[in-house]
Structure 1
Amino acid sequence: MNKIKISENRSIGENEPPFIIAEIGNNHNGSLDNALKLIKIANDIGVDAVKFQVKNIEKSFSQKLLDSAYVTENSFGKTYREHKQALEFSKEQLVEIYEFSRKLGIICFSTPFDTDSVDLLETIDNPIYKISSFHVTDMPLIEKVSKTKKPIIMSTGMSSIDEIDKAVELIRNHNDQLILLQCTSCYPTDDKDVNLAVIPSLRNRYSCPIGYSGHERGLAICTSAVTLGACVIEKHFTSDRTLKGPDHASSIEPIGMKDIVLRSKKIFNALGNSNKSVLDCELKNRQKFRGY
């Protein structure tokens, strides 16, 4: 398993502490102020990175879907188009988001939903690309992202091994900085469907860092993934789970995200290595009870 440099002082891979991502996604509810507040909270908690989604609405979804009625308690418009448009940021707003993150010292990156969005993200120096589970079979998008030569984190929800194989092959034709995430695309995910055992299987098959993107309730499962070698932990992040919006209810609030950061580091430190030897902290008792 190789090690991938993410920033000047942070890498993902073997013998590196888990890289914790607060997936803000659309939980800013279309408000720049909300986005900046969430970034500040995430940074104060000790999260490594925040992540957003960037879309050209007209190219990311079918016209039929965009024109369809979308009236629910969590919608921000009468049609799906109006709902999605309300949650998108302009280039100028994205620039402000990225500059604010850099000043704080927290990594900010995005998931592009289409090739136009990759072009946009390149103009603002997006440092990492996330490929969502939804886009594992979108070969034009994957190729476009791969050719940026920047680190790629790809979720594997709702994907077969054959589909993952094809995506990985295409990425590696252009880019060797790949991290895969075990993910189950059910919201929320039942414990029986999490399948953490896939983590070592993916690592053995693809020889790259493997992480976990979780949509289950609670905190125990995502931190348990660290014991199986997960190098990345990604969870949706919100300031308040009761807010209006499609993702808030299945997201983690600040107190929970801080717990994930602390538990993940504690578990990582406790893993140690595979060498069994007498430790320095044991020498005193060894001498006391064995006499040598």
Structure 2
Amino acid sequence: MPSFKIGNFSIGSPGDSIFIIAEIGQNHQGNIEKAKKLIDEAKKIGCNCVKFQKSCLNSKFTKSALDRPYTGHNSWGNTYGEHKAFLEFSIDEYKILQKYSNDLGIFFSASAMDEVSLDDLRSMDLPFIKIGSGDANNFTLLEKASKIQLPLIISTGMQTMSTIENIVQIMRSSSKTNFALLHCVSSYPTKPEDCNLLTIQLLQKKFPDVVIGYSGHEVVPYISEAAVLLGAKIVERHITLDKKQKGSDHLCSLTPNEFQRLIKSIRYYEDNKLLDVPQSTQFIIDHFNGDENVKKSLGHVYGRDILNCELDCRKKLGKSLVTSKEIRKGEILTLKNIMIKVSEPPGLTAERLKDCLGKPTNKDLKIDEPLQAEDIFEFK
């Protein structure tokens, strides 16, 4: 059996408890007192960990992405940059929340959304660092993360099986064994028929030495129970104080009462030895009395492709190759003049980096400009 350790918490071996993460993300709405309230609730209902999302906006986004108008119902500013800045805690505020969590006796962690944020979080003595789905194809960030001593949890939303294989290869090339993968569908909320929970067992078979978990965004809480019965050893769900609050993640989040019911069910399964081995699909269907949502959520998985329901999120939050400096026509593309960011409009996706390196450009390019296939000589 694969095993994975976060602090003194062992995950994946027989008899280990499921590690449950309350993803606070940006449901705090930029208010540190509300963030503390969410931490309080997560601790009270029995979560093992609270998790936030750390970004350096200029490192994560191009200027055009930050400058685009953003005035919808969920906006906290006139531009996307103003909106994101309103929701972003400083590293000093993170340290306040870390101490608050530690004093309560609950793990505190965060997703590193760019290389600057990875360095910031690395300095905080966290129990682990998360790499979100938006960076699962950001091999530069993954290579850097693979070299640090902290455990990593990596979500796999919006990715193909080929990309997931590359993630594992990057970890193994750095001799990193203390990492876990989360099956994830990047659709908010995720419809039951898009959950494809059988991907959990597919990943377990393909990577038998890696702990596999589940990051869910569905509105039906017991689908996450089914993920655990299928063998997920880590469960991550967003938590909210009120689903009607302003913000795009609240609808796919669980209230404290919903989250508590999920945790009680998971602990019941543990106590009754239902998690010693992954359960069959028929057991799960019977266990939930033939519930149609559960049946749909299992899926018919033969691989992992980017789903239609993930395309909007991939377009909005997927990382692209962009110029890090002005590039003259004919100049060779290298790691010194390319970086990876969310761009507007999108460019070549992050996993195409190695396909670009060493090739000359067809034209002059400005700084912070997304690379397109037609910008690169003999690009295939």
Confirm or deny a common fold (TM above 0.5).
yes
State the alpha-carbon separation in 2 of the partners of residues 246 and 191 from structure 1: 19
Contact persistence 2:155–2:215 (CA under 8 A): yes
Structure 1 match to 2:188: 187
Give aligned pairs, total: 273
Aligned pairs for 1:154-233 within 5 A: 154-174=154-174, 175-207=176-208, 208-233=210-235
SS in structure 1 of the partner of residue 78 of structure 2: coil
The alignment status of 1:95 with 2:124, answered yes or no, reads no
Over the matched positions of the two proteins, sequence identity in percent amounts to: 39
Structure 2 distance, partners of 1:82, 1:65, is 11
The Cα of 1:269 is off from its aligned counterpart by 2.7
CA distance in 2, matches of 1:149, 1:41: 30
The answer on whether the counterparts of 1:128 and 1:150 sit within 8 Å (CA) in structure 2 is yes
Deviation at 1:239, TM superposition (A): 0.8
Q: Given residue 178 of structure 2, which amino acid in structure 1 is its aligned partner?
A: Q
Structure 2 counterpart SS, 1:120: helix
Amino acid at match of 1:11: S
Tell me the SS of whatever aligns to 2:137. coil
The answer to whether the 8 A contact 1:219-1:256 is kept is yes
The 3-state SS of whatever aligns with 2:50 is strand
**Contact 1:75–1:246 (CA<8 Å) still a contact in 2?**
no
So what's the TM-score if we normalise by structure 1? 0.91
How much has 1:266 moved relative to structure 2? 1.0
Considering fraction of residues, name the structure with more helix: 1
Partner SS, residue 17 of structure 2: coil
Structure 1 residue 267: deviation in Å?
Answer: 1.8
Alpha-carbon distance in structure 2 between the residues aligned to 1:190 and 1:102? 35
Question: Which piece of structure 1 moves more, 119-128 or 233-242?
Answer: 119-128
What corresponds to 1:137 in structure 2?
137
Shift of 1:65: 1.2
In structure 2, distance between residues paired with 1:106 and 1:144: 27
- Alpha-carbon separation, structure 2, partners of 1:118 and 1:269: 37
Find the residue that maps to 1:78 and give its secondary structure.
Answer: coil
Q: Secondary structure at the match of 2:224?
A: helix
Q: Name the structure 2 match of 1:285.
A: none
C-alpha deviation, 1:40, in angstroms: 1.0
Distance in 2 of aligned mates of 1:145 and 1:238: 29
Q: Is residue 126 from structure 1 mapped to residue 135 from structure 2 by the alignment?
A: no
Q: In structure 1, how many angstroms separate the alpha carbons of the residues matched to 2:121 and 2:63? A: 24
Instruction: Give the C-alpha shift of residue 209 in structure 1.
Output: 1.0
Contact 1:74 1:246 in 2 (8 A): yes
- Paired with 1:143 and 1:102, the residues of 2 have a C-alpha distance of 29
Per-residue deviation, 1:144: 1.6
> In the superposition, relative to structure 1, how do residues 200 and 88 fare at CA in structure 2: closer, same or farther (>3 Å)?
same
Secondary structure of residue in 1 paired with 2:88: coil
- 1:129-168 CA distances to partner (integer Å, 9 max, x unpaired)? 1111111110111112111121111111111110011111
Q: What are the superposed Cα offsets for residues 226-268 of structure 1, whole Å, 9 maximum, x if unpaired? A: 1111101111111111111121122111001111111111123
Which amino acid is 2:225 matched to? T
- SS class of match (1:167): helix
Partner of 2:12: 13
Match of 1:59 in 2: 59
Task: Kindly state the Cα deviation for residue 272 of structure 1 after the two structures are TM-superposed.
Answer: 5.9
CA contact (8 A) 1:199 1:229 kept: yes
Which amino acid is 2:267 matched to?
K
Unaligned runs of 5+ in 1: 275-292
The alpha carbon displacement at 1:64 in A equals: 1.2
Q: Is the 8 A contact 2:19 2:234 kept in 1?
A: yes
Shift of 1:273: 4.4
- SS of 2:263 mapped into structure 1: helix
Letter in structure 1 aligned against 2:177: D
Which amino acid letter does the alignment assign opposite residue 185 of structure 1? S
Structure 1 vs Structure 2 CA RMSD = 1.2
Structure 2 letter corresponding to 1:215? H
* Over 4 Å off, 4+ runs: none
Measure how far apart 1:14 and its partner are: 2.4
Asked whether the equivalents of residues 14 and 209 of structure 1 are also in contact (C-alpha less than 8 Å), the reply is: no
Q: What is the distance in 2 between the residues matched to 1:209 and 1:158? A: 20
